[in-house]
Chain A
Amino acid sequence: MTIPGSIGTGPVVDRHGKPLRALNQFDARAEEPVAVQDDAPPAEVLVTEHGTAAVERPRPGSRASGRVRRIGLSLVVPVLLLVAWHVATEVTGTFASYELPSPGSVVAAGVELATRENGPTFFTHIQISVQRVLIGFVIGSVTGLAVGALVGLSRLADGLLAGTVGAVRAVPSLGWVPLLVLWIGINEDSKVLLVAIGAFFPVYTTVASALRHVDPHLVEAGRAYGLRGTSLLLRVQLPAATPAVVSGLRLALAQSWLFLVAAELIASSMGLGFLLTDSANNGRVDRILLSLVTLAVLGKVTDALIGVVEKRLLRRW
């Protein structure tokens, strides 16, 4: 693409073949309005209707095939592991079934749990765990956002709180359990609260540091245009910190799953963490593997979902 009037693109003429008058900066007015001159956007950056740069987007066909290829590539290792697992248990018999049950028997355990008449089914375990993670994640990340914003924006709050919160953060997840049980009791609240504690810290840390490091030039420009307090936060500081906030949310969700298992390991009658301990006590290795694989898959799926949200949110950055 040749930009009219750009330097080094040969004779500079307008669409009538006359020398382009607008190129002369001493010439107040060009004969023909020339909309875009030599300081037009770089040729390779084309803007689509949605305002995203087309250059970052390869042809649709190659993009789709690229995605298929990536998914295929990421499945190679799990499939190989599954095959190796099957071979080691069913074919060669390297491991006894009480050491490492075969993939087939893990699936069978899942089916049995899912269809059983008495007691919580497999789906009940999943449902209650997902519910605890989501509620805890929302509470923890909203609180993390609020406290992080406070510490990131106010020097006073930073001085008062940053040290204490950092120390509390160092407490391991299981350390909270006795106190939560003592103060709140053995119920949903204590488990959700533990998950919330897990979700709080990644959001708090990333938000506080991102807000502290927002480009001071942008903040000053915002102030110069009459933005202050909440309007400055909402229009300049939070949007500038959004990429960091989103990655903090992603970390928080992962940490929520870790804290969930801690919450369910002790004092629960449902959930994947309970299934894990219960099976360990009963020597059901197949169910242990079942709950581990389920936790891995659920964690990955929720992470992928938040990844989609991240992509949509950050399209403008």
Chain B
Amino acid sequence: MAITAPITVRSHPAHPVAVRGVGRTFPPRDRGGRAKAVLADVDLDIAAGEIVALIGASGCGKSTLLRQVSGLDAPTAGQILIDGTPVAGIDDRCAVAFQEPRLLPWRTLAQNVAIGLPRGTDRTAGAQRVTELLELVGLGECTGYRPRQVSGGMAQRASLARALARNPGVLVLDEPFGALDALTRLKMQDLLLEVHAAEPTTVLLVTHDVDEALYLADRVVLLGRPDGAPTSAPAGVRSVVTVPGARPRDRADAQLALLRAQLLEGLGVPSHHVAHDADAHHSI
């Protein structure tokens, strides 16, 4: 996806994130029920400006962990530090984009993006910033549209612009492209990389898509239960994979194909990967 407008370079605060022994246990739903431990002892350090992808089987607590980082929910154990200070409640340094665009249907795209602006932003400066961000995500022509008048991909781009309007130190993305069609998803991935190059904030994203994780992230974190643990056991960090190669990466890279096979096995999905293929590529 092409960026049609020059991007104003801004001094951008990218914050490191430290997850220290975080656990989240949900109270029982009804009397006599059992408390459900979703996460336990999660430790993770994310450097400022890094892109980290969280992957894991459905229901393993990826989104729960994101909610702890963004302050939408509070951990029952441990704590999360952004730039050295603990997260308590909704954090100004964090911006979230959800799987659904969640735009306010009665506002135009520009007005929706303006919601993301930090409190007390000067009116003209705010309007200028909104225009700039909408151009950054390729919606410069569509500022006056309402969410129901645009496609899902466009709405999701507006949602990304809204998150960026917050000038976040940490950008938290919960399966941001999960609801999009395959082609739009590939374009959005490139858009995210362009946005990250223009505004290099720390990005923590959840995805179901191993290829997406390998294409976007500096490191991929596999969340899950320990091997052999019962299904009611809480999830933790199974492994952290550092993805080789500078972005933009070749989606067909053999090294990535090998990592992909490993991660899929880690997710409990047989990859049917034939190892000598990769070896053949290495020998070239």
Contact = CB atoms under 8 A, between A and B. Distances in A.
Interface stretch (A45-53, A186-194, A252-260, A267-275): A45-53
B119 A226 contact: yes
Interface in B106-163: 106-108, 115-116, 119, 138, 140-142, 144-146, 149-154, 162
A299 B155 CA distance: 43
Contacts, number: 94
Nearest to B166: A225
A217 interface: yes
B106 A317 contact: yes
Contacts of A221: 96, 98, 102
Given A224-B70, A317-B105, A22 B2 contact: yes
Contact of B4 (A33, A42, A242): A33
Interface stretch (A24-32, A75-83, A130-138, A301-309): A24-32
Query: Of B90, B95, B162, B186, which is in contact with the most chain A CB atoms at under 10 Å from its CB?
Result: B90
A127 to B, nearest CB: 38
B162 A41 contact: no
A41 B1 contact: no
A25 B187 contact: yes
A26 to B, nearest CB: 7
Contact of A53 (B70, B108, B116, B149): B149
Interface in B217-272: 248, 251
B100 interface: yes
Given A29-B2, A41-B150, A217-B100, A51 B119 contact: no
Contact of A39 (B70, B154, B162): B154
Given A39-B151, A317-B105, A47 B144 contact: yes
Given A39-B151, A41-B154, A220-B72, A33 B146 contact: no
Contacts of B100: 217
B90 A41 contact: no
B146 A217 contact: no
SS of B interface (majority)? loop
B105 to A, nearest CB: 7
A239 B104 contact: yes
A35 interface: yes
Given A51-B144, A224-B70, A235-B115, A41 B248 contact: no
A316 interface: yes
Contacts of A227: 115
A126 interface: no
Contact of B1 (A25, A217, A224, A225): A25
Interface string A37-70: 1111110010100010100000000000000000
A38 B187 CA distance: 11
**Pairs of residues from A and B, 6 with the lowest C-beta to C-beta distance, nearest first:** A221-B102, A33-B4, A39-B153, A30-B2, A25-B186, A224-B96
